[in-house]
Amino acid sequence: MWFIKNAITRKNLMALTGLFLCFFLVIHLLGNLQLLLAPDKAQLQYNLYSDFLSNNILIKIISYVLYASILAHTIDSIYLTIKAKKASGSPYVRDRRNRASKWYARQMMLLGTIVFAFLVIHLKNFWFTYKFGILPADANGNKDLYGLVVNSFQDLWYVIFYSIAILALGFHLLHGFFSAFRSLGLYHPTYDKLVKSIGVLFALAITAGYVIIPFYIYLNL
């Protein structure tokens, strides 16, 4: 990636990896919504689903694209942020430039950092334990990931931490979704408005979807 000098090309990379991650968020959420089924049904179905995902070759290939996207998106953002820091001159003594833009549009790096930190903890708790840890088997003989998820969300602090991270993700999407299309060159005013509206709905749906699950588990199970 260091060989890409041009910022527009780099922003294209940010946009494409970002949109792929948006696509992943939808698939991941659809899978996780199975957690909201009746407990005994949810346990068997969710564990079967997880087992299917971890043994499917096509999913395996896509998962490597996913890891690569996360890394490319992160590294590229660090590179661009450092470049932008160098481009800004000495700070203004009186600075009220923030009246002209949304706070979450200016704080994409901060929001992204929260999401990344969350991702590391999230992968360690679930993905790593599922792949390399020891989990009891359910009635069908599949690893009981459902049990691990339900246990994790018994801790209120974990539910709060999880929700804050999802909220950060929501704001990141609120700016990132339409911004990706702009970076790729969508300049038509009508479609730009359409994409902006879809972006707001998308950010809302993803935030609500991911936040409902831990609260449902904490309050009901």
Binding site for another protein (CB under 8 A): 5-12, 80, 83-84, 86-97, 99-102, 105-106, 108, 175, 178-179, 181-187, 189, 192
Smallest distance, Å, CB 120 to another protein? 24
Q: Of the two residues 10 and 143, which places its CB atom closer to another protein in the complex?
A: 10
DSSP assignment letter at 92: P
* Shorter beta-carbon distance to another protein: residue 136 or 189: 189
- Return d(Cα 186, Cα 178) in angstroms, integer: 9
Which single residue is written with the structure tokens 């200016």?
106
Residues 199, 102: contact at Cβ < 8 Å? Answer: no
Q: Residue 92 — left, alpha, or beta (φ > 0 → left; ψ -120 to 50 → alpha)?
A: beta
**Residue 29: alpha-carbon gap to chain centroid:** 10
How near is the Cβ of 81 to another protein at its closest, in Å? 8
Q: Which is nearer to another protein, 3 or 132 (CB)?
A: 3
The Cα–Cα gap between 16 and 24 comes to 12
- Which C-beta is closer to another protein: that of 69 or that of 179? 179
CB of 12 to another protein, least distance (A): 7
* Beta carbon of residue 13, minimum distance to another protein (angstroms, whole number): 12
Q: Where does 88-155 have alpha helices with state H? A: 103-106, 108-122, 129-132, 145-152
**Closer residue to another protein in complex, CB, 84/208:** 84
Least distance to another protein from the beta carbon of 89, Å? 4
Are 174 and 200 spatial neighbours (Cβ–Cβ below 8 Å)? yes
